[in-house]
Structure 1
Amino acid sequence: MELVVARIGRAHGIKGEVTVEVRTDEPELRLSPGAVLRTEPASAGPLTIETGRVHSGRLMLRFAGVKDRTGAEALRNILLIADVDPTELPEEEDEYYDHQLMDLDVVLEDGTEIGRITEISHLPSQDLFIVERPDGTEVMIPFVEEIVAEIDLEEQRCVITPPPGLIDDRAEIVSTRDAGPEAEGEA
């Protein structure tokens, strides 16, 4: 199975190093020296990692055969793809690979069907499940412990306990601004 593990960023320095936007929770496993990665577009690779280091909080890589800034700049925005055994599981118990979560049925605790996970968006603060509802609309579900109660890979389902307003129109609006003069003395 193919997993996108990084996107190449800008060149760094004059010796062929590049910054990378890491897209894996296991960079030490997937982006270590000696790793051979396929690329998107395929014509740019495969690339073999020669060296890797962290500089100012960013991962820097140098690839075999890329010895100068010009070569490094030519790699910008290329995706790095690792081959992963589909039966391989993450090291931590409550971690999942994207491919394990795709197409899971999303249901409430009472079994009410919400939809199916069609995409996972990795944001800096948290991950989001993009869920396609039966009517074709989409809803975004934060992948956080308070909302995602259970991931059951055997049953191919994700049980959620959403707060009011996340998946329906029953948002609870709490504001004293429009409550009138009697609410002003309570604050």
Structure 2
Amino acid sequence: MQLVVARIGRAHGIKGEVTVEVRTDEPELRLAPGAVLATDPAATGPLTIETGRVHSGRLLLRFAGVSDRTGAEALRNTLLIADVDPDERPEDDDEFYDHQLIDLDVVLADGTEVGRITEISHLPSQDLFVVERADGTEVMIPFVEEIVADIDLERQRAVITPPPGLIDDRAEIASARGESEADGPAEDGQR
């Protein structure tokens, strides 16, 4: 199985280094010197990582055969793709690879269907499930213990216990409050 593990950003300096937007929880494994990565677009790869280092909180990589700024700039926006064994699991039982979570059905604790995970968004503060609902809309669900109660890979589902308002439609919230959508919330306790 192939997974996107990073996107190449702008060139850094004049010796062929590039900034990298990491898209893996294990950059030390997937983006280590010596790793050979496929690319998208495919015409630019495969690329072999020669060196890697962190500078001002950003990962910088240099690839074999890319020794100047012009070569590095030509790689900008290229996706780096690693081959991953689909049965491989993180060491911690409470951790999951993105490919294990994509396409899981998302349900409430009572079994009510919410949607399907289409993407994992890795933000600095937390990860988010991007969930596509049956009507085609998307909802973002924080991947935190308080909300995601269970990940069941056998049954291919994620069970969530969301706080009020996280997945509710505006119409449903308004209906529960006894107001129409156009009314909006009452201000200053007045109606």
Compute the TM-score of the two structures, normalised by the length of structure 2.
0.86
Letter in 1 for 2:189: A
> Aligned equivalents of 2:37 and 2:22: distance in 1?
14
Alignment of 1:149-160 (within 5 A): 149-160=149-160
Which residue in the other structure is 1:44 paired with?
44
Letter in 2 for 1:67: S
Offset at residue 72 of structure 1 (A): 0.8
For structure 1, the 5+ residue unaligned runs are: 181-187
**Equivalent of 2:189 in 164, 175, 179:** 179
Runs of 4+ in 1 over 3 A off after TM superposition: 169-173
Letter in 1 for 2:35: A
> Aligned equivalents of 1:134 and 1:19: distance in 2?
38
Offset at residue 40 of structure 1 (A): 0.5
CA gap 1:26/1:137 in 2 versus in 1, 3 angstroms? same
Which residue in the other structure is 2:65 paired with?
65
Which residue in the other structure is 1:170 paired with?
173
For structure 2, the 5+ residue unaligned runs are: 178-184
> Aligned equivalents of 1:141 and 1:30: distance in 2?
26
Offset at residue 30 of structure 1 (A): 0.6
Offset at residue 132 of structure 1 (A): 2.3
> Aligned equivalents of 1:167 and 1:29: distance in 2?
35
Which residue in the other structure is 1:183 paired with?
none
Which residue in the other structure is 2:144 paired with?
144
> Aligned equivalents of 2:136 and 2:62: distance in 1?
44
SS in 2 for 1:29: helix
SS in 1 for 2:29: helix
Which residue in the other structure is 1:115 paired with?
115
Q: Does 1:131 align with 2:99?
A: no
> Aligned equivalents of 2:49 and 2:19: distance in 1?
13
Offset at residue 99 of structure 1 (A): 1.3
Alignment of 1:64-83 (within 5 A): 64-83=64-83
Letter in 1 for 2:86: P
The percentage of counterpart residues that share the same residue type is 83
Offset at residue 177 of structure 1 (A): 6.6
Q: Does 1:92 align with 2:92?
A: yes
Offset at residue 141 of structure 1 (A): 1.4
> Aligned equivalents of 1:71 and 1:137: distance in 2?
41
SS in 2 for 1:71: helix
> Aligned equivalents of 1:164 and 1:6: distance in 2?
35
Which residue in the other structure is 1:34 paired with?
34
Offset at residue 20 of structure 1 (A): 0.9
Q: Which moved more, 1:131-140 or 1:5-14?
A: 131-140
What whole-Å deviation, never above 9, does each CA across 1:58-97 have from its counterpart, x for those lacking one? 1111111111111111111111100000000112221111
> Aligned equivalents of 2:141 and 2:166: distance in 1?
8
Compute the TM-score of the two structures, normalised by the length of structure 1.
0.88
